[in-house]
Amino acid sequence: MNRGQFIAILVGLVGVIGVVVALNSGSNEPAQASTASEGAVAQTNDSSDVGDNPDSLADPNADSTADEKAPVEPTANAPENLGPAMDLVDLDGWLQTDATALSDFDGQVKILQFWTFSCHNCTATIPYLQDIYATYEPQGLEIIGVHAPEFDFERDPAAVQEAAERLGVTWPIALDTDKLNFRAWQDRRFWPRTFVIDANGDVRFNHIGEGKYDELEATVAYLIENGGS
């Protein structure tokens, strides 16, 4: 490939990006509802009749906006039941709790998130989870952060504890050091992965990645208001 051909390819790439930009500016395609089909945990999640803009939830780290944030309304309809949640098995321990098993939280509404502390997208969700935890923990919500390390240096429980303190993670952490649960719960594996489990142990929300914070909170709000299920 000579220099001319190489430059032609570069120009072509710039052209493609230009078309992408032009198409994007000409459409306001709404974000898609979560319809993940995953493992034994979930089939679909059509509970998308609530707001879907991750930016619409004020940054809870910003004092003024956090104080002024309007409470998220519960979903009008019951969030779809995506089937029973799997158990957490062969864990390497727990941090920040006396619990020793997921069953210790039976009867509670739970947010269960697979995360790891060096994952930027995981840590970006923490302020939103802190906000939800502050609002709903007194009403019975529990958050369980299942720490599934991506890299070897994240495997040390002391490093996880240090990161939790640094990042402001105050909820229980389950150590899934060998990622057995991370793999079992997901056919396709991503960080972060967030589930809401109702008081009966059924999955009511399943989301890949950041975002959908309003939908997450609305699901929690619905379940809390309706006795957990």
Partner 1 sequence: MIDLLVEGFETALFPCSLVLLAPGVAAAVTARQESAAALTGYVTTVIVVGWLRFSGQIGDIGIPIVAMAFALAAALLVVPLIRRINLVSAAGGGVAGVAAAALWEPCVGAEFGGLLSDLTGRGVVGVFLMGVYLVGIMAPLAIVGAVLHLIPNPFLLPARPFMMVAGSAFFAVLAVATATGVINSVISKLVELSITV
The reply to whether 100 sits near partner 1 by the rule CB under 8 A is no
**131 touches 220 (CB < 8 A):** no
d(CA 19, CA 52): 26
Which residue among 13, 62, 89, 134 contacts partner 1 (CB under 8 A)? 13
How many residues bind partner 1 (CB under 8 A)? The answer is 44
| Among the residue ranges 21-29, 57-65, 103-111, 129-137, the one whose residues contact partner 1 (CB under 8 A) | 21-29
Q: Which stretch binds partner 1 (CB under 8 A): 2-10, 66-74, 126-134, 160-168?
A: 2-10
Binding of residue 92 to partner 1 (CB under 8 A): no
- State the Cα–Cα distance between residues 11 and 15, nearest whole angstrom: 6
Among 153, 156, 162, 226, binds partner 1 (CB under 8 A): 153
**Quick one: tokens of 174?**
């389950």
The DSSP H or E segment spanning 24 is helix 3-25
- Nearest one of 96, 114, 100 to 162, comparing CA atoms: 96
Whole-Å CA distances, 150 to 24, 78, 116, 122, 177: 33, 35, 7, 12, 9
- Considering only residues 112 through 141, tell me which ones interact with partner 1, judged by CB under 8 A: 118-122, 124
Residues that bind partner 1 (CB under 8 A): 1, 3, 5-6, 9-10, 13, 17, 20-21, 23-25, 29, 31-37, 54, 118-122, 124, 150-153, 187-192, 207-212
